[in-house]
Amino acid sequence: DAKTTQPNSMESNEEEPVHLPCNHSTISGTDYIHWYRQLPSQGPEYVIHGLTSNVNNRMASLAIAEDRKSSTLILHRATLRDAAVYYCILSEGGGSNYKLTFGKGTLLTVNP
Amino acid sequence: DAMVIQNPRYQVTQFGKPVTLSCSQTLNHNVMYWYQQKSSQAPKLLFHYYDKDFNNEADTPDNFQSRRPNTSFCFLDIRSPGLGDAAMYLCATSREAGPTDTQYFGPGTRLTVL
């Protein structure tokens, strides 16, 4: 079962930063934190992942709490194309047992 | 540029009539996954192949089977579709099966069962 908790929905205005929170209080020391997003009528796409340190890429930043029990995905300037369901996922297992278990995600609405 | 291709994008079948969904990849990845996503729900992993090794999720119905004849192709067979099997079926790949491996998803096949 999914081990993350996210708000059902959030709203943002275009060109403003968005902070999407995720709680994962039962995270183990070897679990990576992944974020994927799913635009309407498309398959999910990878956004970012991290273990302990904050991470940045061209799409977003990932801020991970020191105790790793929560994290925040940061979109620095939201655009209309960022409207999607954002999933925070803990990678589990390895080898043939590795899998991503999607939770309910956060539906992000971006207002023009 | 398409990396994970799913055909068809839309599939209509009749109750109880076997149906096969296909997925192909140009990434030469070792791992291929099949997910089921029902309306307004999160994707749910059905099974995956690590190379030729098949891994079935414990709660995947027996009605669902998969074949991977080679690295590039993977098929989802639904032997006797019920109304409850209507969903989006997503194929994904990853290079390896490690905790940092990114999964690349196809656009999905939306299955309608009449």
Q: Residue B1: what pLDDT?
A: 67
* Maximum mean pLDDT: which of A99-108, B25-34, B93-102: B25-34
Using alpha carbons only, what angle is made at residue A53 by residues A23 and A25, rounded to the nearest 5 degrees? 20
Say whether A99 and B42 touch across the interface (CB within 8 A): no
Phi-psi bin for B71: left (phi > 0), alpha (psi -120 to 50), beta? alpha
d(CA A90, CA A103): 10
Closest-CA residue to A90 (of A8, A43, A16, A23): A23
Least confident of A17-26, A67-76, A99-108, B85-94: A99-108
Burial class of A78 by CB neighbour count within 10 A (0 to 12, 13 to 18, 19+): buried
Q: Residue A69: what pLDDT?
A: 94
pLDDT digits (tens, 9 = 90+) for B47-69: 999 999 999 999 999 999 999 99
Say whether A43 and B105 touch across the interface (CB within 8 A): yes
Q: Any CB–CB contact under 8 A between A105 and chain B? A: yes
- Cα B19 to chain centroid, rounded: 12
Mutation to test the A interface, candidates B91, B103, B104, B110, most A Cβ within 10 Å: B103
Closest-CA residue to A22 (of A111, A112, A108, A82): A108
Q: Residue A92: what pLDDT?
A: 76
Whether B108 contacts B37, CB under 8 Å? yes
Number of Cα atoms under 13 Å in the Cβ half of residue B26: 6
Q: Any CB–CB contact under 8 A between A98 and chain B? A: yes
Name the residue among B43, B106, B108 with its Cβ closest to that of A102: B43
Q: Any CB–CB contact under 8 A between A87 and chain B? A: yes
d(CA B73, CA B22): 7
Amino acid at B35: Y
Neighbours of A62 (CB within 10 A): 22
pLDDT digits (tens, 9 = 90+) for A69-106: 999 999 999 999 999 999 999 987 766 667 888 988 99
Res. A1: pLDDT tops 60: no
pLDDT band of residue B99 (cuts 50, 70, 90) is: confident
Please list, in sequence order, all residues whose beta carbon lies within 8 angstroms of the beta carbon of residue B2, skipping any fewer than 6 positions away. Answer: B26
Q: Residue A96: what pLDDT?
A: 64
Which residues does residue A55 pair with via DSSP β-bridges, in sequence order?
Answer: A62
Q: Which helix (H) or strand (E) segment is B61 a member of? A: none
Whether B10 contacts B109, CB under 8 Å? yes
**Residue count of chain B:** 114
Phi-psi bin for A18: left (phi > 0), alpha (psi -120 to 50), beta? beta
